[in-house]
Amino acid sequence: MSKIMDRKTLNRFYDKSFFLIGIFATSISLIFLLALLLDILADGMGRLGWQFLANYSSRKPEEAGILSAWVGTVWIMVLTGGIAFPLGVSAAIYLEEYSRKNWLTDIIEINIANLAGVPSIIYGLLGLGLFVRLLNMERSVIAGAMTLAILVLPIVILSTREAIKSIPPSIREASYALGASKWQTIRNQVLPSAMPGILTGVILAMSRAVGETAPLITMGALTYIAFLPASPISAEFPYISFQGLFDAFTVLPIQIFNWVSRPQKGFAIDAAAGIIVLLVITFVMNAFAIYLRQKYQKKIRW
């Protein structure tokens, strides 16, 4: 009996120790993150303003702005999400609901899992060879968006598959019992129930994409442009223009990288202000996805 009590006491000690080690490790990470954020805010807050947001980059740090960079970031993120989300979800639905389990699907699943860990610069080389040169898209917005979409596609597929797997079989069985087809069951029952998990994966994927620099530099994105991609809204019929998809672009991570590589102190301040804007764009994007996730969670009734 005493041996059992000693064993229980030892297990409680291990549990408490692991808990304290986890709290300590998390606290250290949060302290470093907070210190970094405070340093960036202290350097960049004074530089933020309408002039900084509405001006193009300049050789003079006090006149430099991020207009082309933040507009390019919005363009790239919207297109990346618009490409990666439907493709990733569709691929996950096929692999999880329709495909037969054989050696071919096993190879596909292994490759998808491996692609999630491939260095981002490899995707940049793929985008350069496939989209820029082979498909002759040049160094355009659509080429950059498709490169980043391929980069985050494995994350979206894996997270969607896990979300679909988490749906209880009873949901499908009840739908089939009421006469629904397989696609009706997936569309009306499985996908709405799995949407919170899917959107969690999309948040992670887009958070990675918004900060990527290496793939876009590799495929030839510009560090300085003094114009914006053409507006998607046209004054002439059909009132929609796709010209902006084929215009050159730059993004905030590239602009920040360009500024921090310069020796002048003013450009370091500009880079800090650019980081703040990039963080705001990331938070807004994630907040929208979290809102959608919470909205779907409220509809789930198991």
Q: What angle (nearest 5°) sits at the alpha carbon of residue 186, between those of residues 207 and 150?
A: 30
Q: And the tokens for 62?
A: 């006090």
Residue keyed to tokens 């303003």: 49
Per-residue confidence in pLDDT tens, the chain, 302 aa = 555 556 777 777 778 888 889 898 889 988 998 998 888 888 888 888 888 888 888 888 888 888 888 888 889 999 998 999 999 999 999 988 888 888 888 888 888 888 878 888 888 888 888 888 888 888 888 999 999 999 999 999 999 998 898 888 888 888 888 888 888 888 888 888 888 888 888 888 888 888 888 888 888 777 778 778 877 877 777 777 788 888 888 888 888 888 888 888 888 888 888 899 988 888 888 888 888 777 777 666 55
Cα 115 to the chain's mean position, in Å? 15
Q: Determine the Cα–Cα distance for residues 168 and 275; give it in Å rounded to an integer.
A: 42
Q: Determine the Cα–Cα distance for residues 207 and 286; give it in Å rounded to an integer.
A: 8
Q: Determine the Cα–Cα distance for residues 144 and 158; give it in Å rounded to an integer.
A: 23
Q: Residue 238: which residues within 8 A CB-CB, separation 6 or more?
A: none
Nearest in space to 88 (alpha carbons), one of 180, 200, 184: 200
Residue keyed to tokens 């933020």: 48
Q: Determine the Cα–Cα distance for residues 61 and 266; give it in Å rounded to an integer.
A: 5
Q: And the tokens for 22?
A: 């986890």
The predicted model scores a pTM of 0.84
